[in-house]
């Protein structure tokens, strides 16, 4: 029988959202349009329209060693062209943001190829070849995994995920990379490391509270659904905890 991943336990909406994001068979809802040039501007790794700088010659032009693994694994577009490795980093507010660092890493590992994610408590970074990165970033920004107010694209100075939101609902950002305009649209005025952009990049309107609650992947007893209300999740985590505690005694279920 073929293995079919379950992606995660739980009966709550949060658990279901987590499984939805992780499952590459599910097509995530596209909630905003951002052009390729906008993504390049926010990332700040190269000027829009310029050629991709390379770290090595294209694979087709160089002699590759006779390696069985290279025959099994097809190189990604970026690797084939010899692109540099570059990154995008996200900060997700704890107030019902539609994704969070661990969730991002799991999702990316299931959905993308040739990536190196780094997971931290308040931020998540993913590194890969530049042209793959732009493709993946577009997915991460355009789909329901992003919200313009409660998720920030921040390469450095990420502080803010656990702080109160501002009066207008925006997550705190010391560098204020994005601003909420009078028309209700959030625009990036700086790239992810805080350098001013030549033109503002619109990333759409912040989602409303009901949408955020419905799409959240974070348990939060005060502003969302409480972890303790999901009995199946608790049972699962208790099982893991019990088995790892008894590990030295060779646990048998």
Whether 53 contacts 84, CB under 8 Å: yes
Shortest separation between residue 72's beta carbon and other proteins, angstroms: 37
Pick from 13, 55, 165, 185 the residue near other proteins by CB under 8 A. Answer: 165
Whether 141 contacts 203, CB under 8 Å: yes
Cα gap 59→131, rounded to integer Å: 15
Pick from 174, 226, 231, 243 the residue near other proteins by CB under 8 A. Answer: 174
**Span interacting with other proteins, options 73-81, 99-107, 145-153, 158-166, rule CB under 8 A:** 158-166
Pick from 166, 197, 234, 237 the residue near other proteins by CB under 8 A. Answer: 166
Pick from 66, 167, 182, 253 the residue near other proteins by CB under 8 A. Answer: 167
User: Does 209 contact other proteins by CB under 8 A?
Assistant: no
Count of Cβ atoms closer than 10 Å to residue 127 Cβ: 15
Q: What HEC string does 47-89 produce?
A: CCCCCCCECCCCHHHCCCCCCHHHHHCCCCHHHHHCECEEEEE
> How many chain residues bind other proteins (CB under 8 A)?
20
Shortest separation between residue 130's beta carbon and other proteins, angstroms: 16
The answer for residues whose C-beta is within 8 angstroms of residue 33's C-beta and 6 or more apart is 142, 204
Shortest separation between residue 193's beta carbon and other proteins, angstroms: 5
Pick from 29, 77, 116, 195 the residue near other proteins by CB under 8 A. Answer: 195
| Burial letters 161-193, b for 16+ CB under 10 A, else e | beeebeeebbbbbebebbebeeeeebbbebbbe
Pick from 59, 75, 138, 194 the residue near other proteins by CB under 8 A. Answer: 194
User: Does 193 contact other proteins by CB under 8 A?
Assistant: yes
CB of 131 or CB of 190, closer to other proteins: 190
Pick from 98, 155, 206, 224 the residue near other proteins by CB under 8 A. Answer: 155
Binding mask 45-74 for other proteins (x = CB under 8 A): ------------------------------
| φ, ψ for residue 152, nearest 5 deg | -120, 145
Whether 36 contacts 149, CB under 8 Å: no
Pick from 159, 205, 213, 220 the residue near other proteins by CB under 8 A. Answer: 159
CA atoms within 13 A on the CB side of 176: 4
User: Does 32 contact other proteins by CB under 8 A?
Assistant: no
Where do contacts with other proteins occur on this chain (CB under 8 A)?
155-157, 159-160, 163-168, 172, 174-176, 179, 193-196
């Amino acid at each position: 029988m073929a293995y079919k991943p379950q992606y995660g336990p739980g009966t709550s909406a949060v658990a279901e959202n987590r499984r939805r994001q992780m499952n590459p068979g599910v097509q995530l809802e596209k909630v905003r349009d951002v052009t390729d040039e906008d993504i390049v501007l926010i990332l700040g790794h190269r000027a829009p329209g310029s050629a991709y700088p390379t770290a090595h010659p294209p694979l087709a032009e160089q002699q590759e060693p006779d390696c069985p693994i290279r025959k099994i694994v097809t190189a990604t577009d970026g690797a084939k062209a010899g692109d540099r490795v570059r990154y995008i980093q996200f900060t997700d507010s704890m107030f019902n943001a539609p994704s969070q660092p661990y969730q991002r890493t799991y999702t990316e590992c299931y959905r993308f190829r040739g990536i190196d994610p780094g997971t931290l408590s308040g931020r998540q970074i993913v590194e890969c070849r530049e042209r793959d990165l732009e493709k993946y970033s577009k997915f991460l920004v355009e789909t329901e995994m992003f919200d313009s107010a409660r998720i920030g694209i921040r390469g450095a100075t990420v502080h803010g995920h656990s702080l109160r939101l501002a009066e207008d609902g925006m997550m705190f950002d010391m560098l204020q990379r994005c601003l909420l305009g009078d028309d209700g649209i959030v625009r990036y005025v700086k790239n992810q490391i805080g350098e001013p952009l030549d033109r503002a990049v619109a990333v759409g309107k912040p989602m409303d509270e009901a949408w955020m609650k419905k799409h959240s992947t974070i348990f939060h007893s005060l502003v969302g659904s409480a972890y303790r209300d999901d009995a199946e999740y608790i049972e699962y985590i208790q099982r893991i905890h019990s088995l790892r505690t008894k590990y030295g005694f060779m646990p048998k279920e």
